[in-house]
Structure 1
Amino acid sequence: MNSDYNKWYHPYKPNKKYEKKVAYFSMEFGIHQGLKIYSGGLGFLAGSHMRSAYELKQNVIGVGMLWKYGYYDQSRNKDKTLKPDFVEKTYNFLEDTGIEVSIKLHDNPNVKVRAFVLKPEIFGSVPIYLLSTDVEGNDYLSRTITNNLYDANEDTRISQSIVLGIGGAKVVEALGGADTYHLNEGHALPAFYYLRDKGVKKNNFVFTTHTPEKAGNEERDANYLNQCGFFGRTLSAEELEMESVNNGNINYTVSSLRMAKKANAVSKLHAKVSQDMWKGYKNTCKIIPITNAQNQNFWQDLKLKKVWENKKDSAFNKRKLELKSNLFEEVLNQTERIFDPKVLTFVWARRFAGYKRADLLLYDIERFERLISNKKYPIQIIWAGKPYPHDNYGIEIFNKLVNYSKYKPNLAVLTGYEMDLSRRLKEGSDVWLNTPRITREASGTSGMTAAMNGSVNVSINDGWIPEFEKNNKNSFVLPEQDHRIPVHEQDRLDAENLYEILEKKVIPTYYDKPKKWQEIVFNGIEDVLPEFSSHRMADQYYKELFN
């Protein structure tokens, strides 16, 4: 064990602008394909933040969880439908810090939590301390708490929050404490309760809310949480009443907003949606917008970057064809289809949540069939993404796409949507499709890294897109729907507009006006950088949230 890693440590002297010590708590971090402790966008975002914090020499550490089985490994049943696998992960590149803390969980007064560190030199991030209860001396149930990210069992989920929150806060104390404790989403809320009891002031707490989705704003019975040890001690009935909302519940987001000095949403539109969502609750803090971003050094293909900087059209197109061929090797490997790099290729890839509407293209099946069988304007479509392993609706959509595409030569559904496949899809696509129901996508960062790699966004005007889009100049954007109209009506109108834009604008531009297409591609890269690079974001967090 290196003694450097059991104290607050960085391999550099922090930049003066970023000297304040910040502990960044997140349930997931997407740092590298080889460290499978993430499920989707929240993790990708946290990973980019930790990389930029390192590159900017910020005084930040990450605090997360060492998931023994990760989220899940996405494979296939015999008929190619989705099969979740849970395979043990062993990371020899993580270092045991020797820091072990105890927390009270349910009736067990002494659950051990051990901290392992991802050192900066491994993947180029600030140090990230990962917590595990799979520790000698813990009973069997305690050892399973850190098995699966977002475990389906309610008691386990509560325990995971306590481990990350209180266990994480105690680990930060062992490292010398922080000036600012930052919760990336409400999962680690117990940290605020524990630290408040230790005398840490509101001025030291900040919070990021990431989603308007109910599932992302957890709410549980206050009395039950009290029994579980959620607050770090047993609260009295009066104290519990003060913390409760909505008939005796603790809403993790509301509590975080009440305890933090300031909070942020993850796009300008999301800030408005969030302010509206939580305005009925008293004593909540101000919510400012700090739009999500991604790390350019990690996500942008270097050769593509060089030829774009030199504005060499032919060299850019040559590299793009190479990247498409690289992606199509994976298509062939997984689906036995040979895709053509010269054909316009659409990708829809992200977390498979229902509101993101992976199957919107199939809304009018006759119109869709005409689209994919047009000999004059051929297209290829790839879908990829992971539904939550217990989300039957999401899995149903995934399997519907698998079954529909099975005998179509120009359609493919890929499994294993993690960081490597995500990179290949962004580099190898011509068009990045984004189809959430409006106001429900807080930010949605995949289109940023797609744009960095010359993939044109075709999107609903939600999340980060209103801050980026110049319709028909750097992207193609669907007309906005009134989010208050019935969902089935939104879906019908959005599908009609999507077909219209693809048939009349996107596909003809690619084939009939290649110079115009090249201009749109270059404008997309120009407009996404540096505004949507995580260097801007990491700097803004210090300026507007931490300081």
Structure 2
Amino acid sequence: MKSKYNSWYHPYKPSEPYKKKVAYFSMEFGIHQALKIYSGGLGFLAGSHMLSAFELKQNVIGIGMLWKYGYYDQSRNKDQTLRPDFIEKHYSFLEDSGHEVEVGIFGNSSVKVRAMVLKPEVFGSVPIYLLTTDVEGNDELSRSIMNHLYDSNELTRICQNIVLGIGGAKLVQALGGADIYHLNEGHALPAFYHLRNLGVGKKNMAFTTHTPERAGNVERDAYALNDSGFFGRKLTEEELMKETGGSNRLSYTVAALRMANRTNAVSKLHAKVSRGMWKGNTGSTKIFPITNAQNQNFWQDETLYKARKANNVKAFQKRKTELKQDLFKTVLDQTGKLFDPEILTIVWARRFAEYKRADLLLRDMERFEKILANKKYPVQIIWAGKPYPKDTGAIGVFDRLVHFTKYRHNTAVLTGYEMALSKLLKMGSDIWLNTPRITREASGTSGMTAAMNGSVNLSINDGWVPEFAKNGKNSFVLPEANPESLVSEQDDFDSRNLYDCLEEKVLPLYYNTPEKWSEIVFRGMDDVLADFTSERMAIQYYKELYK
């Protein structure tokens, strides 16, 4: 029998404001802990978007990739340092859509791409089609394209771009076509070239840029891309130079900006930074913000929400204690340390990128040791997050924290930072610590879901934070360093202010004036739900990006 997912299908009639058909391309989706096709924030954002699109009855489908080994499984060596493991994944809840398309890659004119589908009834998302080349009839090299999310081999990454972009666009056409083809970051850029070759107009293309780091915006050798089939057909030398502006390298972001009808950044500050970064390139002046957000129904503890709604401080604190105890079971299991739910608990948890500065607290060891040893205002600190498995610098920071915390009773580093642990940490923390170098964090959505669960943001004033934070009322915001100063000067400045904030504001407030602390917690919950749920974001995409 033919599956209903053989064509563009939703288990509901799309709501009137959201009838326009949108195909949303993303390298990763964080839909559920069990579906390990995500690495971090980009996937969490895409997953929340797909959940809210379903709740709003929007006419959206997701196009992603079925990674054979996922990102990686985070384990430990004998000395507790990081060990990346790559374990084959299987998902019985995915259904074969019945669609198989072919793409040309590096002279192989018939690499088969099959589409599996995550049905809405499984996790409550819009249909998400996951592409794989690990199918019968492909050679081993073609099958290996799907092994690793963000493969470290440059040519493999190009192949992944082609599969997601051209394979995804062909699938969408087979499903009945879309009104809007939306690229969540530039990974699926070949989709735009394929569509342009077919005569699909610019008005049908939308783009979201996520990265305020110029180094984080992908550039590839233009001739390698041309040989790979990236452009959907072989370009002449003249055509190639036109695409690259006379360079021998192609910037995915610059190309997407030029080809998209509309482009959004992921916070107001990020839009400003992005316009400056890409000044002089076509489309750069029109980058506008749609601030990232997260799905309340997935991320927020319902009992906490009900207690806040009833303004019941006692019930809220009782539930928060239970959630801290749940988190501390994982701390005990992984580290052998008994944490106390009565003690202020700080969590730093996110992707281990260098600019995010996981080890900023360790910059002045004398001051930090003093904070850790303070018996009047005791503190517990947890770190968690996944470095890129080939990033030796980030892994070095992770391992340094492991060694630092190993024999200290009130500090811990947890492994297995995926959606389930992320949820535990947000629900069980009192302070959510965010320490990027200023202007380098596009959004930083983890603080949103922490605030939904009564964890107070202590943050650099970057990404989404300037749109949310009221210092001392719903969060704690550190003074702004000069982003033009030396990195070492920024780190010294920010660490000093972080120690000051903990010693003079956060810790005394938590222990001496619990009523005031509860006010800050509740104000943070209220303010984050007012503007930073993905329901607002999904509506805004239709109103502003897809119009």
Q: Which amino acid aligns with 1:407?
A: Y
Alignment partners' CA distance in 2, 1:228 and 1:235: 11
Alignment partners' CA distance in 2, 1:220 and 1:87: 29
Alignment partners' CA distance in 1, 2:261 and 2:248: 24
Cross-structure match for 1:441: 441
1:505 aligns with 2:499: no
Alignment partners' CA distance in 2, 1:148 and 1:228: 19
Cross-structure match for 2:180: 180
The answer as to whether partners of 2:101 and 2:113 remain within 8 angstroms in 1 is yes
Cross-structure match for 1:325: 325
Cα deviation, 1:166-224, whole Å, max 9, x if unaligned, reads 00000000000000000000000000000001010000000000011234310011111
The answer as to whether partners of 2:271 and 2:289 remain within 8 angstroms in 1 is yes
Structure 1 vs Structure 2 CA RMSD: 0.8
Alignment partners' CA distance in 2, 1:283 and 1:297: 35
Question: Per the alignment, in what secondary structure is the counterpart of residue 24 of structure 2?
Answer: strand
1:400 aligns with 2:400: yes
* Alpha-carbon offset, residue 280 of structure 1: 2.4
Alignment partners' CA distance in 1, 2:77 and 2:176: 49
Cross-structure match for 1:254: 254
Cross-structure match for 2:375: 375
Distance change >3 Å, CA 143–CA 274, structure 1 → 2? same
* Alpha-carbon offset, residue 345 of structure 1: 0.1
Distance change >3 Å, CA 499–CA 2, structure 1 → 2? farther
* Alpha-carbon offset, residue 284 of structure 1: 4.7
* Alpha-carbon offset, residue 245 of structure 1: 4.0
Q: Which amino acid aligns with 2:220?
A: R
Q: What stretches of structure 1 of length at least 5 have no aligned partner?
A: none
Cross-structure match for 2:489: 489
Cα deviation, 1:8-36, whole Å, max 9, x if unaligned, reads 00000000000000000000000000000
Q: Which amino acid aligns with 2:295?
A: N
1:417 aligns with 2:417: yes
Cross-structure match for 2:194: 194
After superposition, residues 448-487 of structure 1 pair within 5 angstroms as 448-487=448-487
The answer as to whether partners of 2:382 and 2:414 remain within 8 angstroms in 1 is yes
Q: Which amino acid aligns with 1:512?
A: N
Q: Which amino acid aligns with 1:391?
A: D
Q: Which amino acid aligns with 1:177?
A: G
Question: Per the alignment, in what secondary structure is the counterpart of residue 200 of structure 1?
Answer: coil
Cross-structure match for 1:268: 268
Alignment partners' CA distance in 1, 2:206 and 2:398: 37
* Alpha-carbon offset, residue 503 of structure 1: 0.3
Distance change >3 Å, CA 524–CA 337, structure 1 → 2? same
The answer as to whether partners of 1:257 and 1:285 remain within 8 angstroms in 2 is no
Q: Which amino acid aligns with 1:350?
A: R
* Alpha-carbon offset, residue 482 of structure 1: 1.1
* Alpha-carbon offset, residue 107 of structure 1: 1.7
Cα deviation, 1:100-154, whole Å, max 9, x if unaligned, reads 0000000211100000000000000000000000010000000000110000011
Cross-structure match for 1:231: 231
Cross-structure match for 1:62: 62
After superposition, residues 124-203 of structure 1 pair within 5 angstroms as 124-203=124-203
1:77 aligns with 2:69: no
The answer as to whether partners of 1:433 and 1:458 remain within 8 angstroms in 2 is yes
Q: Which amino acid aligns with 1:206?
A: A
Cross-structure match for 2:391: 391
The answer as to whether partners of 2:69 and 2:148 remain within 8 angstroms in 1 is yes
Question: Per the alignment, in what secondary structure is the counterpart of residue 530 of structure 1?
Answer: helix
* Alpha-carbon offset, residue 2 of structure 1: 5.0
Alignment partners' CA distance in 2, 1:180 and 1:194: 14
Q: Which amino acid aligns with 1:271?
A: A
Q: Which amino acid aligns with 1:463?
A: G
How many residue pairs align between the two structures?
Answer: 547
Cα deviation, 1:222-264, whole Å, max 9, x if unaligned, reads 1110001100100111110110047321100000000001100
Cross-structure match for 1:21: 21
Bigger Cα displacement from structure 2, 34-43 vs 230-239: 230-239
The answer as to whether partners of 2:257 and 2:282 remain within 8 angstroms in 1 is no
Cross-structure match for 1:335: 335
1:50 aligns with 2:50: yes
Alignment partners' CA distance in 1, 2:443 and 2:457: 14
Cα deviation, 1:28-80, whole Å, max 9, x if unaligned, reads 00000000000000000000000000000000000000000000000000000
Question: Per the alignment, in what secondary structure is the counterpart of residue 499 of structure 1?
Answer: helix
Distance change >3 Å, CA 520–CA 105, structure 1 → 2? same
Q: Which amino acid aligns with 2:259?
A: M
The answer as to whether partners of 1:262 and 1:285 remain within 8 angstroms in 2 is no
* Alpha-carbon offset, residue 3 of structure 1: 1.9
Cα deviation, 1:429-465, whole Å, max 9, x if unaligned, reads 0000000000000000000000000000000000000
Question: Per the alignment, in what secondary structure is the counterpart of residue 437 of structure 1?
Answer: coil
Alignment partners' CA distance in 2, 1:97 and 1:289: 35
* Alpha-carbon offset, residue 283 of structure 1: 5.3
The answer as to whether partners of 1:2 and 1:97 remain within 8 angstroms in 2 is no
* Alpha-carbon offset, residue 286 of structure 1: 1.6
Q: What stretches of structure 2 of length at least 5 have no aligned partner?
A: none
1:315 aligns with 2:315: yes
Q: Which amino acid aligns with 1:220?
A: R
Alignment partners' CA distance in 2, 1:523 and 1:338: 31
Cross-structure match for 2:304: 304
Alignment partners' CA distance in 2, 1:435 and 1:511: 24
Alignment partners' CA distance in 2, 1:283 and 1:500: 43
Alignment partners' CA distance in 1, 2:530 and 2:262: 25
Cross-structure match for 1:33: 33
Q: Which amino acid aligns with 1:151?
A: D
The answer as to whether partners of 1:26 and 1:64 remain within 8 angstroms in 2 is yes
Question: Per the alignment, in what secondary structure is the counterpart of residue 145 of structure 1?
Answer: helix
Distance change >3 Å, CA 518–CA 113, structure 1 → 2? same
Q: Which amino acid aligns with 1:30?
A: G
